[in-house]
Structure 1
């Protein structure tokens, strides 16, 4: 019965994930896992955690099967799910050990944050998809992102869920025995409500009008590997339609125009007459993603600011490369599960510098696609003075799956985390304008050609999360690690 309950709970966590706005399912789903591991051996905790993670990730990462299944079968999808579920297993084992300590809910939540931090780092740079925080694009826990970023939101969900489990276990005992669990349930909720009024949305550096170009892409799956010209042509055509609308007075003149990832293809000289002509016609800077080969021979995924009459100006190079796509570990083996081995003969080169452009009235912080899943990229941009954030991305690989909506939820969390509006520019959707409080002002549909235009607030005030940086996350990791180490302390009488 516990095994069945844990499997159902893992699926319930998926059911509460975007695009569904059922954020409140996350704490009770986590509570079932916590209930199953309390007082158990670490080995049992590992098994329950593994099952919970697999039941959650198998449907959540179904877009991998949509992407690769026709050519490679279910093995890439199942392989990623298994590897990532192992980290849930480690979390379950650690939760079982610390569940015997006083204040168990706190330690159980902290070790889960530590397990998320680990799987966001290894192997091959980690895979942060499916963090508890990313289920909370709506609801009471999201405001906590402005204090401690994604790690604190994950901790709040896990703490509340662990508290529910402890109350359920001890409800028949005296109130003193379950009062701590009840506090663990309520404190994150009260904390989120208390922080909510501090989420600022008002302009501090004026406003800017931003246009987003979504030119659409052919829904070819892996066929998109060789459809670069069509992808580019679609977006140039959509951008010229935007210019037509501006000239006809149907759309207000923007201060900048954002195009998605992978629209340009440049050599070291950054020559692109078509972008030159488009920027000159629009009369405002473009922010456009593309692949480039540099003078050092390195191949990079970057975003370039393209100015009227000047051409390429400031640039940002992607910091977190997608394993088995933009960087290929174990190439002979990778060929069995990835089509990118033959598409890209060498690994792309990553950068470690934040991307911040001065574009008209905007100081624009940028990341590219996968970057948004990591905590450091937009933190660095906000610390460098970005007043608006942008996420150029190419999600056309994944068909009509939920992947784009999951990524949009990450952008919404980043908006609250740093108190900035966020502009998402996707080739085939979902493109969006996100307000600094995480709400969506405008949003496109999948596989449509549709342009967005909106006035957005420019904000310069740093949130607590921006100022503290990685400290809340590392603090929670240390808390969990310390509690786990404490469980191995020698017992009285010298027995370990």
Structure 2
């Protein structure tokens, strides 16, 4: 038991370092460490050890992010914060790994190929159940590769869940190849999987989805065709925003930043919640002369939106597009609200400010148009939902724009790294370049293959100037979505559980022959 606990501690530490936010990049190769070491243990012991693995992993991967978010969004402190933090840790870290451990008992009796499918499918089932309880693609195994997008090309075919599947399965083969049984067959199977992934990656890079049809380049290429975009990072930490007393001062700050490097851009982008006044009632803050001084074609920014309040309109989180004449020409209303923080349908607990419960989700994500170009916009939390960007891509979006305010996630970079990892995965899944404008970081430009081509330093203010073109075509994942991989994983797991039940019945029915004992006559 001591050996199992020691291995579990090591496994949890390595998995936590493999997820985004870790500064130790070599740990990315250790994502397989929690896979199968306790497969031969009893069910109760496997689940207990898996819980320890998940707790350690999430603690390392999120740092102060979970506590800072709970404190910032909900005003929690003391015992309430401790209880909420514990519940969040259990859902994010313990639940998927415990489910995985429950489903992988007896995997050592299977052939290496069967073990690959069983372990990969069980991991996807665990991640899917977590996303049902805490909506969003949080801490998926696939996100461990977000800093090496060349290894994430398969996301264009099978999405984030599919990448988690082959990572977990490959980890099982690596474990079997190291500790047995069937080491030789396990390494042969691992080599076959790697060969398929290398071939698929080469196809993505040089074949049908090569990056030459969609790219983001720095502003040092002024003659290149495409949309000239200026992404503004305000540098305003929303946890200390009361120090800025009015929308007018917010606007003055943003205008001053935009004049530095944003003048003359086709599109100027300010982050989520750049202005606090409700639109379109406060549209008078932006006048024509102000926008003409910037010389921009369009401005996209985040602000609350309330349309026709006399008719019972609902307050929404919005990304608003205005033209050079300060006319609103489009808006995207947030379709996914942060659970318990933005959703107006949640019953407030004692002491909570009821004024923060006014938002309602939009039933659909609208595209924004600049001439013939269509933009698919995500607001912060929406980046965690592949269905949103997939729907926008199918509707004709050529470029993805993410407006975000991640200062709520704490002062360290771990929470921001997780959100950036989500944007990388969404980019690769639909093969569309992504532009991220954030309050405190990471303001980033991603090409259609998920590579970071430009990024501002975090925390401080700045402007990132890029030129972007929209690719054409679609990916298999954009066309089919996650249903094929999810159906395959749940189906395989169900068949395996049925087979295990038959094995157990057989084991109970078959008893060793015993010599008969006769009474002496």
Same fold (TM over 0.5): yes
Match of 1:288 in 2: 301
- Give the alignment partner of residue 114 of structure 1, picking from 113, 121, 125: 125
Following TM superposition, by how much is the alpha carbon of 1:405 offset from its aligned partner in structure 2, in angstroms?
1.9
Q: TM (normalized to structure 2)?
A: 0.83
Aligned to 1:86: 95
Aligned to 1:132: 141
Which secondary structure does the structure 2 equivalent of 1:286 belong to? strand
| Partner residue, 1:326 | 342
Alignment pair present for 1:216 and 2:232: no
Counterpart in the other structure of 1:393: 404
Q: Quick one: distance in 1 between partners of 2:497 and 2:371?
A: 53
Moved more, 374-383 or 437-446: 437-446
Distance 1:174 1:136, change over 3 A: closer
Partner Cα separation in structure 2 for residue 304 and residue 47 of structure 1? 48
Task: Report the CA distance shift for 1:446/1:159 in structure 2 as closer, same or farther (over 3 A).
Answer: same
Alignment match, 1:470: 482
Distance 1:69 1:3, change over 3 A: farther
User: In 2, distance between residues paired with 1:11 and 1:361?
Assistant: 49
Q: Secondary structure at the match of 2:376?
A: strand
Which residue in the other structure is 1:461 paired with? Answer: 473
Looking at structure 2, the residues matched to 8 and 377 of structure 1 have their Cα atoms a distance apart, in angstroms, of: 37
Aligned residues: 479
Alignment of 1:50-449 (within 5 A): 50-62=51-63, 63-68=65-70, 72-73=77-78, 75=82, 76-84=84-92, 85-96=94-105, 100-102=109-111, 103-123=114-134, 126-139=135-148, 140-170=150-180, 175-176=184-185, 179-180=188-189, 183-184=192-193, 187-188=196-197, 191-198=200-207, 199-203=209-213, 207-218=226-237, 221=239, 223-224=240-241, 226=242, 229=245, 233-234=249-250, 236-243=252-259, 245=261, 253-265=264-276, 267=278, 269-277=280-288, 278-281=290-293, 282-294=295-307, 295=309, 296-309=312-325, 311-327=327-343, 331=347, 333=349, 341-342=352-353, 344-401=355-412, 402-449=414-461
Contact 1:217 1:428 in 2 (8 A): yes
Aligned partners of 2:304 and 2:317 also within 8 Å:
yes
User: Do the aligned partners of 1:415 and 1:436 also contact (CA within 8 Å) in 2?
Assistant: yes
1:193–1:15 distance in 2 versus 1, CA, 3 Å = farther
Relative distance call for 1:157 and 1:163 in structure 2 (3 A) is same
CA contact (8 A) 1:160 1:186 kept: no
My pick for the range that moved more, 317-326 or 72-81, is 72-81
Name the CA distance, whole Å, in 2 between partners of 1:324 and 1:452. Answer: 33
**For residues 37 and 452 of structure 1, do their structure 2 counterparts lie closer, same or farther at Cα, with a shift above 3 Å needed?**
same
Q: List gaps (5 residues or longer) in structure 2.
A: 216-224, 510-521
Please list every run of 5 or more consecutive structure 1 residues that lacks an aligned counterpart in the other structure: 248-252
- Relative to structure 1, is the Cα distance of residues 107 and 330 closer, same or farther in structure 2, using a 3 angstrom cutoff? same
> Are the aligned partners of 2:174 and 2:187 in contact in 1 as well (CA < 8 Å)?
no
